Amino acid sequence: MRRALTLAALAAAVVFPLVAKPLGWEFYIGFASRTLIYALAASSLNLVLGYGGMLSFGHAAFVGAGAYTVAVFMAEGIASAWVAWPIAIAVAAALAVAIGAVSLRTRGVYFIMITLAFAQMIYYIAVGMRAYGGEEGLNLPTRSQIGFGVDLKDDVTFYYLVLAVLAAALCGLYRLIHARFGRVIEAIRENETRMEAIGFPTYRYKLVCFVIGGALAGAAGALLANQNSYVNPNLLYWTQSGELMIMVILGGVGYHYGGLLGAVALLVLEEVFSAYTIHWQLPVGIILLGIVLFAPQGLVGIAGRRFLVRRLAGG
């Protein structure tokens, strides 16, 4: 059942540009790419937040670090994706090591605040980089080049690349979560003291989980810089971290497709309402509030409950 649904969604995602292009919906191909990139970023946060139980409120810093790395390389004349993207991921991962190493010594609300503080520092560093646009941001002259006759400037090609990256990342995350590492991480979330008593180096496990999340967010950032052909410090502002967190909570914390569902739901909601009214934030806010009050498990929770009810009813 679940596998069939996944395959159907994947098939729909693969077919989408083939249908959209002849119908003249080019705009929506770009929108779909952006949505999938946010799905990747939200899924990386879901690993940290949902499985690792670490309430990181600074995830936008890693997305921004990836995006800025690609933009800075581009501005310096290096457009090759083979150089810029791995370095973007490495920069985000290194940042996650530094932030995680300090932040993971604190707990609870203090962890939320300290990750937020670090992200704000990175934000102000981005604002201070006058050579690379400062507050105004930086336009990218072109998209990264990957050679082999593949042109990422074509929106459909770029969409497929994003889809492939997201699919690979979700597969990898699934394997990771169902491997020993994932079990340990979830067990630490449930009872860290016990895991420590059994003899697991919990701090190290959490740090590795935090860094993997950061690295994946860096990859999302590299893609996002390419999709928008533009980076600016707002990518790193705390409301961006908040939005990623909202996506995860909306989709379902600690559900494998939570990040994906949440990103799609939030961005589609925004898109639909912004087509009708400039005051789209009002209905989006009301719907989000309704979901918190009436569907505590997020969207996956709603779907799961229906499914359960049907099964109990013998359907």
| CA distances for 288 relative to 45, 156, 200, 294, 306, angstroms | 19, 31, 38, 10, 20
Residues contributing to the site for another protein (CB under 8 A) = 49, 55, 102, 105-107, 109-110, 112-114, 116-118, 120-121, 124-125, 127-131, 238-239, 242, 245-246, 249-250, 253, 279-282, 284-286, 288-289, 291-293, 296
Minimum CB separation from another protein for residue 40, in Å? 21
**Closer CB to another protein, residue 204 or residue 279?**
279
Minimum CB separation from another protein for residue 65, in Å? 15
Minimum CB separation from another protein for residue 230, in Å? 21
**Closer CB to another protein, residue 228 or residue 241?**
241
DSSP one-letter code for 80? B
Minimum CB separation from another protein for residue 103, in Å? 9
What are the percentages of helix, strand and coil residues in the chain, rounded to 5?
Answer: 80, 0, 20
Minimum CB separation from another protein for residue 137, in Å? 15
**Closer CB to another protein, residue 143 or residue 256?**
256
Minimum CB separation from another protein for residue 266, in Å? 11
DSSP string, 98-154: HHHHHHTTS-HHHHHHHHHHHHHHHHHHHHH-GGGTGGG-EE-SS--B--TT--TTS
**Closer CB to another protein, residue 108 or residue 315?**
108
**Closer CB to another protein, residue 111 or residue 160?**
111
**Separation between Cα atoms, residue 214 and residue 190, nearest integer Å:** 22
For the chain, helix (H) and strand (E) counts, in that order, are 13, 2
**Closer CB to another protein, residue 94 or residue 288?**
288
Best CA proximity match to 161, nearest among 226, 92, 90: 226
142, 71 Cβ separation under 8 angstroms = no
